[in-house]
Structure 1
C-alpha cells in the first residue's frame, strides 16, 4: 500500500461529513481534487470503502474501520510533531474549536495573533450548524465552542467575547428611512429565515413572539451567507447579525431598516464543558483571551460603534 497522509486526512473528513462537497469546503480543496484522492485511496483496497446511493455517499463497515485506523495514524503523526516542537521549547499541540456558521466572521480575529505567535500550534476549527457545535462539545471532541445562544441542556463554563447585534436588513431598494413599529413593517415585508436549530433563527423567533408579530415567511435557508445573498437579490428581508454584513453595508448594497426594538443583542461566548481539563495549548489560549479580548474587539470590530 502507498497511501499518503493527505489521503488519510481527506478520507477521514469524508467519513465525518458524509459528503465530498462538505469535506472539500472544510479542507479548502476543490470537489474534483477530493474525489480524485478518494478514488486513489480506494484503489489500494479490494473491499469498498464507500458506496453511492442516489446522490448520497455512505461509508461501508470496512470504510469505518479504515477511518478509525486513519484517525489513529494521524494522531500519532501530530504527536510526533508536537513532541519535536516541545523538545525545542515551543508551545505545541492541537487547538480544536467548533464554531456556529455566523461565528466564522468572529472567531478568526480572536485566534490569529495567538496562533501566529506560537508556530507549534495546529488549529482545527470546524464551522458548522449549532446542533453539531453542541454535539461536538458534549462528546468532548473539541476544546471550545463559539456560540451566540447558550445551550440549555449542558453544564458549561464560558468567557464572553463581544456583543452580537442583529438588525432587520434589506437591499438598497428598501423604500423608507422612517422608523416603523415592528407590527407595521413585518406585516408588509417577506421574511427570510435561517434553518431550525440556528441560533440566529432562535433569536429572531423570540423577537417575533415577544412582540406578537404576524410575519410573511418567504423562505428558509441553511446558512447566513445564503440568507445574505437572497436579501441582496431582492428575494426578501431578514434579521441578520451585523458581524456578517459589514462589507455590504459599507458598499451600500444592503441597508438596515429602522425598526423600534432593534437591534436585538446577544453575546458571542466561548464555552466549554464544566470541569474540563484543558491541554496546555487550550489553557494558554483561554488565558490569552482573558487578557486580550478587549483589545481585539477595539482593534478589529471598531465599526460596531457606528450602528
Structure 2
C-alpha cells in the first residue's frame, strides 16, 4: 500500500465513480489499457481485488469500497491543501464556498454580512439553488457548506441544526378562514394548496406534512416563492411556506397566517457538509459562527415570533382597513419589484440581487413605515 501513487488514486476514484474503465479513460485523457494497468498495480499493492466484473459491468468489491472511502479523503485533503497554498500565494485570501436553498435568500445575506464584517481576507462564493442541487454540489466538492432544512439521510453527510424555521399556512386577508381560530385540519383538506416544485426544501416539508393525512389538499405547483405569494394574494388558494419567507407580506397586511391545528410546523435550519473531508479554515469559522450566533442573529433580524404567534385573529376595524388600503398598493409594488430583482432567467433567485436587496434593509423599512402610518391613522 505504501507504493500507491496519487495518480493511481485519482484513476481509481474515476473508475469507481463511473464504474467504467472506458469512461474513466475519457475523463482523465488516458487510454483504456493505461487505466487498466494502473488499477491492476493498485490491486497488487492492496493484495485484494478492487473490482468484480460481470459481463461488461464492473462493481466495487468490499476492499474497493474501503479504498474508495480513504481515496476520497486523501484527494479532498490534497485539494484543500492546494487551495490553501494558492490563497497564500494570492496574499492570504481565503475562499468561503457556501450554498443555500432559495427560501433562505430572505435572511441569509444578513448572516453572511455579519460573519464577513471585518474579515477582509475572506472571499465569498455563494450559490442559491434547490435542495437537491445543493446536495449534488456538496457531493461533487463544488461547495464546502450548504444551508437547508431537510438534509439527506446519508452517513456521508453531516447536518447540524442552528436556528428554527417554522412553516405556516397563509391566505389572503379576505379568505373565509383568515380570522377563524383553531381551524381543524379537515377544513384545510378542502382547499387548493399552492406549493413549491419538487426538489425544494419547502416542497419536501409539504409532502411530509400533508402526506401523513388520509385527505390532502389539492396541490397547485408554482416554481417560485414570490409568485406563490402573489397568487395567494390574488385569492387563488392558500399556501404552505416558511414563516421567514412571508414576514414582509404578513407585516404589510397582504397575507394572513392561518390559525390551523398543528401549525406552525416546527423545522430547523441546518448547516450541512460532507463527513469525508476536512473543511477549509473559512468554512470551519462560518460553521462555528452559525452554530453559536446564527439563532440569535436570525431571531433579531426576522422577529419571527411576532409573525406566527400572538396573531390578531379578529377582523380588522375600520381604521385598520383604511391603513391596509393605504399600505397595500405600495407594498404590492415593492413585492413586485423584489420579485423581478430576485429572479434570474432560470427562475431561481440571483444571489447578488438577494444580498444587495437584503442589506438595504427593505423589509424592516417597509414595516417601520407601515407602523408609522398606523400610528398617524390612530391619532
TM-score class normalised by the smaller sequence: 0.5 to 0.7
Distance change (3 Å), C-alpha of 1:113 and 1:210 = same
Matches within 5 A, 1:85-100: 85-86=91-92, 92-100=93-101
**Cα distance in structure 1, aligned partners of 2:170 and 2:307:** 16
Local SS of the residue matching 2:143: coil
Cα distance per residue 1:264-284 (max 9 Å; x no partner): 111100100013211121122
Distance change (3 Å), C-alpha of 1:220 and 1:154 = farther
Matches within 5 A, 1:165-244: 165-176=166-177, 177-178=179-180, 179-187=182-190, 189-217=191-219, 219-244=220-245
Q: 1:4 maps to which residue?
A: none
Distance change (3 Å), C-alpha of 1:109 and 1:161 = farther
Runs of 4+ in 1 over 4 A off after TM superposition: 78-82
Q: 1:138 maps to which residue?
A: 139
**Cα distance in structure 2, aligned partners of 1:108 and 1:276:** 26
**Cα distance in structure 1, aligned partners of 2:167 and 2:89:** 44
Cα distance per residue 1:102-149 (max 9 Å; x no partner): 011232222112212211211111111111111001111101001111
Higher helix share: 2
State which of 70, 89, 97 in structure 2 corresponds to 1:83.
89
The two structures have a TM-score, normalised by structure 2, of 0.55
Point out where structure 1 has 5 or more consecutive residues left out of the alignment.
Answer: 1-75, 87-91
The two structures have a TM-score, normalised by structure 1, of 0.67
Q: 2:162 maps to which residue?
A: 161
**Cα distance in structure 1, aligned partners of 2:193 and 2:271:** 30
| Aligned residues: CA RMSD | 2.3
Matches within 5 A, 1:1-307: 83-86=89-92, 92-153=93-154, 155-176=156-177, 177-178=179-180, 179-187=182-190, 189-217=191-219, 219-307=220-308
Shift in Å at residue 169 of structure 1?
0.6
Distance change (3 Å), C-alpha of 1:81 and 1:209 = closer
**Cα distance in structure 2, aligned partners of 1:248 and 1:120:** 37
Larger Rg over CA atoms: 2
Alpha carbons 1:130, 1:199 under 8 Å: kept = yes
Cα distance per residue 1:30-60 (max 9 Å; x no partner): xxxxxxxxxxxxxxxxxxxxxxxxxxxxxxx
Higher strand share: 1
Cα distance per residue 1:228-247 (max 9 Å; x no partner): 22212222111111011111
131-140 or 177-186, which moves further after superposition? 177-186
